[in-house]
Every structure is written in C-alpha cells, then in structure tokens.
Structure 1
Amino acid sequence: MRGVAAPASSGWFISALGAAQICSWGTLFYGFPLIAEAMRGELGWSKPTLYGAATLGMLLAGLAAYPVGAAIDRGHGRVLMSGASVIAGLLLAAWSQVEGLIAFYAILAVLGCMQAATLYEPAFAVIARRVGPMNARAGITALTLWGGFASTAFIPIIQFVIETQGWRGALLVMAAVNMAICGTLNFLAIDPSKDAPVHPAAAGAPPPAAGRAAVAAAMRKPAYWGLMLAWISFAFTFSSLTYHFFPLLLERGLDSLDAVAVLTVIGPAQVAGRILVVAFAPSAPVRSLGSAIVIVFPFSIIGFAIAPPELFVIAGVAAFYGAANGMITIVRGMAVPEMVTRDGYGAVNGSLIGPMNIMTALAPLGAALLWQASGGYGAVLAVILGGSVMLCAGFWFAAAQSKREGQQMAAKK
C-alpha cells in the first residue's frame, strides 16, 4: 500500500530534478541563440532561416505538451523525462555534424518534442503527482530556485566553448551533459512507486476528472481562457526577448563580453525574485501574487528600449526583468490548481502550455522577420511591449474570474 510521499520541497527528489533542470534549460533553451549566431557567421545562413528551425521544433513542442502532461498523470514521468534527455543528447550530437538545412531542420524538429518532455512543465507535473496538486507549491518553488541558475551557468560556458572549440564542439559538450547528467538524474529522481495515491475528495464521491474530461471541465471556466491569453502573451514576450537579447544588446552598442555579462544577470535575478516570494509571500494567493508581478514586464521592456548603452544600466533593467520572470514561473506552476481546477494537473496544464509553446515557437521567427524588415530592434521592442500589456490584461481577467468563482462557491456552502 503506497503512502503519501514526504514533502517535495526538500531532499534528493527536488535536488536531482533541479540539477537536471539547470542542465536542460541551459543546453536546450539558452544555448540556441549563441549557437545560432556562430552558425550564421560560419555557414552564412540568414537569421530567419536559423530561427525557422527553432520555430518548427517549438511548434512540435506545443503539440506534444498535452500528451506529455497526460502521460505523466498516468505515472510515466520517469521513462518520459529520462528518455527524452538521452534522445536530446543524441540529437545535439547529430546537430554538431550538420552541413545542410534539411538535416538541421529535421534535428531541431525532434529536439523541440524533447523540450516538451524535459523542461519545467513536465517536472511540475511530476511534483504534483508525487504530493498532490494543492501540496506542490513548495516543491515547484524549490525547483524553480534550481532552474534559475541555468542561464548564469551555461551562457558563459557555452560561449567559452564556442570561442575555443567552435559551435560544433560546443554542441558535443551539450550532448554529453544531456545524456550523462540529465538522463541519469531524471531516472533516479522520479519513482512512480512513491507517488501519492489519488483518492476521491470524499467517501462515495466519483473519482476526479482526468485527461480530456478534466480539460473539458476547465475550458468551461472563464479563468482558464484568461490564463490562456496571459501565457500566450508571456510566451511571446519572453521568447522574443530571450532569443534576440544577445544580438539586441550588440545592436545597442555593447560588445560581446558586456552582452554576455548582462545575460548572466538574469539567472541570479530570477532566483532572487523566487527567494522574495518564499520569504515574503509563501502563502499568498496565486491570483494576488501574479497580479502584482505581471505589471513589471511592460516597465522592463520600456527600460530596454530607452536605457543608455551602459553595462550597469542595462544590467539593472535585466535584473528587474529577471526577478519578475523568476516569480511568474512559480505563478505559472500553481495557477491551474489554485485558479482553475485541482483535477488532471498534467493534462490541464499541458492544454495551456501547448498554445504557449506554439507562440514560443513563432515569436523568435516573427521577431527576426520584423528585424529584417525594419532594419533594427526598435520595432521589435515596440511589439514585445504590446505583448507584455496583453499578459497583464489576460492575467488580471483570470484573477478576477477566479476570485468571483471562489466567492460563489463559498456562498453556496
């Protein structure tokens, strides 16, 4: 008979998942802009061509998000996450050997599916399955504290390896990290036999909804659609900025060393933001916490647009942005059980993450095309600012609807 597992916020479980997240995010997400810039210089491929491959991969990641979440709800997290890490490593090794566009696009396409099975959302679902969705906040917060170091750790490392061994050598190092570290840690940390048993809410009550039934029930709630708009808008803002931040900073007048220094500020700032949540708002309702955080994004984008090209000034704006991004990750992990439904966490969250991943895919290519058409990043930043405003509108709507539903349920009791 299985018992409820110990809290997921401490011990080997979160530490191993967290270390794997650092390596997965650092190699599979933050490494792409650096590799792409090096490939552009050596192979002469255009920026839209390079980012088109990333777009294809993330489009497939969007399609994979729901089945990944549903599979984790059924207890397949260990095989899914560890296997995806190993396959991702093999794909990175294959990428290091590409000479033509067809092979490049094929590899990036499958690599996108591996991202859907290795980054935050599947790990959040694994934690929710271990301790139950309403008990997962501490574990999710702790995991994001680990993951916040990904850009700080890997951007300088990858840039150094590119400069010393070339982009092909850097990809081989990234491949080894995924296979040897991420695959092993995910396999050892995730043990389905330790997951908390799922019981009906009360004696004689029907079992909780799962899979498509849980998603269908969630879709009948306005808060679900507010979160959908918020997360799609966040994906547009975050992905456009992340994938273009390095060349944007170069265009603003910083040299490559200063640009890397600015990028490395974001990771510690994310961690600092999450620590602030733990210290000052550990039990604050997610709708209140998120409502205060989202307004930071428009002000950060304005800062990037108007700040003088001085290292410490832009680094300060990056810290402001990074702290908000770190905090919103916690909100994203707990928004479904606290604002929409406690049933079918992996499936419902996956149904929201799918469109978000699709926007994550489209945004960098769109930004690259706009940069090419306008001749600079000014227009790109203006559109990103619009996306950050939509993030605020969507989340505030979801928060208001969630509060109203909670009040209606309380009045019926």
Structure 2
Amino acid sequence: MVATPQNGESPATRPGPRLARQGWPLVAALSVAQLVSWGTIYYAFAVFVVPMEAELGWSRTALNGALSLGLLTAGLCAYTVGSRIDRQGGRLLMSLGSLLAVALLVAWSFVQHIAAFYAIWFGLGVAMAMTLYEPVFAVLTRLFPENYRFRITMLTLTGGFASTVFIPLSAWFIELLGWRDALLALAAFNLVICLPVHALLLSDREAPPAPQAETEATIGDPMRRALRHPVFWGLALCFTFYYATFSALTFHFFPLMDERGFSLALAVGVFAVIGPAQVAGRIILLVFGRNISAATTGRIIVVMFPVSVSLLILFPSSVTALFAFAAIYGCANGIMTIVRGTAVPDLLWREGYGAINGALTLPSNLAKALAPSVAALIWSATSDYRQVLWVIVAGALVSAAGFWFAAAKSRR
C-alpha cells in the first residue's frame, strides 16, 4: 500500500497561500452548524429527561431507550450517507438532515405517546447520521484533500463547546418556556442556522482528483479493498472499544462518585473539566500536530485512556486524582475525535472515505448504545464500581491495541 503523507499534505498537493485561504468561510460556517446540531439533537436530550418523566410518567429507562434507538439508527445509516457523499457531495443530504431535525424536534414538542417518541428518535437517528461529525468530515476530506486534517481540527474546536453551550441554554429554555416550547426553540436554531449553512453555503463542486499513486493503490471498489485490509479491522476494533468505554464511563460517572461518597457539587466540578480539556487537547494538536504524524498522535492518545481510568482505581478517595483523570481523559477524547475523522485517509486512503468511515461507525454506535447497560449489569452483579472500572480499563487497552496494530500495518 502507498503511504499517505502525514497531515493530509504532500509536496505535490500542499496549498499555496491563496489556495490555503480558500474555503475557510465555509469551514467557519460548518463549525457553527456542528455546534448547533450536536447541541440540539444530541446533548440537549439529557436535560429533557426529568421534565418529561414528571409530566408524562415514563421511566428514565424508557426515555433513554429512545436515545439508544437513535444512536443505533445513526450507525445503520452511516454507510449509506457516506457513500452518497463520496459520489455526490454533502449539500443535499446535510440540508435534508437539518430539515428533518427541525420537523422532528417540533413533533417531539407535541408528543403524548411513548411509541410516537420512539418513532421520532428513529427519525432523529437518521438526522444525526446526515448532520453530525461523520458526514461533515467526509465533506471536508472530499473538498480539501490537501489539508483536511487541519480543517477538521479547526471545525472540532467550535463543535467541542456544544455541550457547554446547549446544556445550560436548554435548561434555561425549559425553565422559561416549559419543555415543549423549549424544543420549538431548539428547532428554530436548526432552521435559522444549520439549514441555511448546508443548503446555501455548502458546495458540491467536483472533488479534486486523488494523487496518481493513491488512485493506483485503491483501484476498484475502495470499500471492498478496505474490508480485506488489516488496517480497517484494527481501526474497527479501536473505535468500537473506545466508544464502548467512553459511553459506559460517561453514563456511570455520577453514580460512581455517589458510591464513593463525593458530593454532587464536586462531581459536577470534575465533569466540567472534561469539556475545556477536550478543547485544550485540540489546540495542542493544532499547534504541534504538523510536526507529528497522525499515526504517532493516535498511538499516544489511545494509551492516555487506560492511564486516566487507572487513576480512578488506584486513588479512589483522592480529589487530586479525580481532576487529573478529567484533564487527561478530556484532552485525549478531544484529540481522539480528530483521529477518528482522519484515520481512514491517514492510514488507508482517501478514495471512498465516506463509505469506509460510515462502515466503521456502525459497530461504534452499537457499542456506544449498549455499553451503559452492560456496565449496569456488571455493577448489579458485584455492587462495586471498581469492577466496572477494571472492565473499562480492559476495553481501553483493547482499543489501544487495535490502533497500534492498524498503525503498524499501515506503515508496512
């Protein structure tokens, strides 16, 4: 296999000053649209659980089951969405995704029956597959092959604030308007910001041709070749176990803190460190990443996850260890989002990026949806979160091994 130049650039394709400036208004607009899409479709969900439970009488398990259905649906749609972007670009798909989000958020505001709620979240899963990071990464890789990695990093700097902005904003809307009208406000954000960005600013111009060496390396169907390549399966192992451990830890962090006797205020303070740490990690990559290959970056980041969780096991009563965990974990997670978006062109090839990345998304989303329930079963069997943490560390080590395997096979 022909190696891909680090950072998505080569002497033949590295942009000059004029070319490097092209497309930045689009990247800035897409960044804001990602902030809104993630904030309104994904992160805001947690804020609506309690008021919906109080008014409608549905259990939290039933409510969160709808989110799991949405994540599974997004994973199932990812390959189809990615393949379409490979062939035709993302303008139509991402515009329809934003329009679908508007319609379904409005429908959610009128929901009365649990079956309708699940149907809405099935549709929101489709909307997530058409609007969140995976499709926009495919768009940027398709349109800007000369420096896609840098542009993806810049986009995620803004997207990383989605939870920071929209969780408190959604809570304020609920307090001010009630949860039903709050959903109408979130729908308006998608209508006024995301839909115009995707429909009016996003271009579907022809993607620049791949370098001849890369084209020769990927002759035939890129997806079929990827399925026969060990790098693809190493990445699939890495991302599946990473998202499993991330999801299990995220949803069980507060019960873990409660079991260990930490106050809710301290737990919230520790958790609040993760968001800024994610952005800090991306800024570090932005400053130093051009001098470090993508494979090296990934090797370092995947090791940071088991190290961070080990702090929770080794120092169960230390407040210092808690904040150190949050800083390391958040920094690594922030950079991992970029590694996830650039691993296919960096370690395999750019051709067929959307389809290949979509195929990697399915097992990742399945793991993300099921991991919290598996962690809950382990806790129920042992009544001790220490055992859950050991399983999470084991999963993080499997994830790290998958990436190191993929990086080694890519070099060969």
How would you bin the TM-score normalised by the shorter chain? 0.7 to 0.9
Quote the residue 1:13 is aligned against.
Answer: 26
For residue 395 of structure 1, report the CA deviation from its aligned partner.
Answer: 0.9
- Partner Cα distance (2:256, 2:170) in 1: 19
Kindly tell me: are residues 111 and 376 of structure 1, through their superposed partners in 2, closer, same or farther at Cα, counting changes over 3 Å? farther
Q: d(CA) in 2 for partners of 1:98 and 1:275?
A: 41
Gaps of 5+ in 1: 406-413
**Matches of residues 91-102 of structure 1 in structure 2 within 5 Å?**
91-102=104-115
1:155-170 to 2 correspondence within 5 Å? 155-170=167-182
User: Which residue of structure 1 lines up, in the alignment, with residue 122 of structure 2?
Assistant: 109
Match of 2:233 in 1: 225
Equivalent residue, structure 1, for 2:186: 174
Contact 1:152/1:265, CA 8 A, preserved across alignment: no
Relative to structure 1, the CA distance from residue 374 to residue 29 in structure 2 (aligned partners, 3 Å threshold; closer, same or farther) is: farther
Which residue in 2 is equivalent to 1:287? Answer: 295
Shift of 1:66: 0.5
- What is the deviation of 1:42? 4.4
Q: Is the 8 A contact 2:141 2:350 kept in 1?
A: no
Partner Cα separation in structure 1 for residue 295 and residue 305 of structure 2: 17
Return the match for 2:391 from 383, 393, 409.
383
CA-CA distance at 1:199 after TM superposition: 5.5
- Which deviates further from its counterpart, 183-192 or 73-82? 183-192
Tell me which amino acid in the other structure corresponds to 2:333: N
* Structure 1 Cα separation of the partners of residues 255 and 180 of structure 2: 20
Paired letter, 2:207: A
Q: How far has the Cα of 1:290 moved from its partner?
A: 0.5
Match of 2:36 among 7, 23, 26: 23
Given that residues 253 and 309 in structure 1 are in contact (C-alpha distance below 8 angstroms), is that contact kept between their aligned partners in structure 2?
A: no
Shift of 1:340: 1.6
1:346 to 333, 350, 354: 354
Aligned counterpart for 2:283 among listed residues 275, 278, 290: 275
Structure 2 contact 312–321 (Cα < 8 Å) conserved? no
Query: Secondary structure of 1:117's match?
Result: helix
| One-letter identity of the residue aligned with 1:342 | R
Residues 146-197 of structure 1: CA deviation (Å, up to 9, x unaligned): 211112212222233334444334323222222221222222331113x433
Going from structure 1 to structure 2, the CA distance change for 1:298 and 1:20 (only over 3 Å counts) comes to same
Counterpart for residue 140 of structure 1: 152
Separation in 1 of the partners of 2:249 and 2:22? 31
Per-residue CA deviations over 1:37-85 (Å, capped at 9, x if unaligned) read 4434544433332222111111111110111001111124011112201
Aligned length: 395
Return the alpha-carbon distance in structure 2 between the equivalents of residues 393 and 46 of structure 1.
Answer: 38
Amino acid of the residue matched to residue 298 of structure 2? G
TM-score by length of 1: 0.85
Hey, what's the Cα distance between the residues in 2 that align with 1:153 and 1:6?
33
CA RMSD of aligned residues (A): 2.9
> Structure 1 residues 17 and 114 mapped into 2: Cα distance closer, same or farther (>3 Å)?
same
Does 2:208 correspond to 1:197? yes
Q: 1:363, 1:266 → 2: CA distance?
A: 20
| AA in 1 matched with 2:311 | G
Quote how far apart the aligned CAs of 1:336 are: 0.8
Counterpart mapping for 1:293-304 below 5 A: 293-304=301-312
Specify the code of the residue in structure 2 equivalent to 1:182.
Answer: C
Match of 2:403 among 377, 395, 399: 395
> For residue 282 of structure 2, what is the amino acid of its counterpart?
R
SS of the aligned residue for 2:337 comes to: helix
CA 1:140–1:111 in 2, change beyond 3 Å: closer, same or farther? same
- Name the residue aligned to 2:8: none
Between the aligned partners of 2:170 and 2:379, the Cα distance in structure 1 is: 25
Shift of 1:247: 5.6
Mapped contact 1:370–1:379 kept (Cα < 8 A): yes
Task: Answer yes or no: is the 8 Å Cα contact 2:239–2:399 preserved in 1.
Answer: yes
Q: 1:82 to 1:375 in 2, by over 3 A?
A: farther
TM-score, normalised with respect to structure 2: 0.86
Counterpart-to-counterpart distance in 1, 2:172 and 2:312: 26
**SS across alignment from 1:295:** helix
Residue 58 in structure 1 maps to residue 71 in structure 2: yes
Calculate percent identity across the aligned residue pairs. 47
Alignment-mate amino acid for residue 226 of structure 1 = G
**How many Å separate the matches in 1 of 2:23 and 2:43?**
26
* Alignment deviations for residues 220-257 of structure 1 (CA, whole Å, 9 cap, x no partner): 21111010000101111222233444565566556666
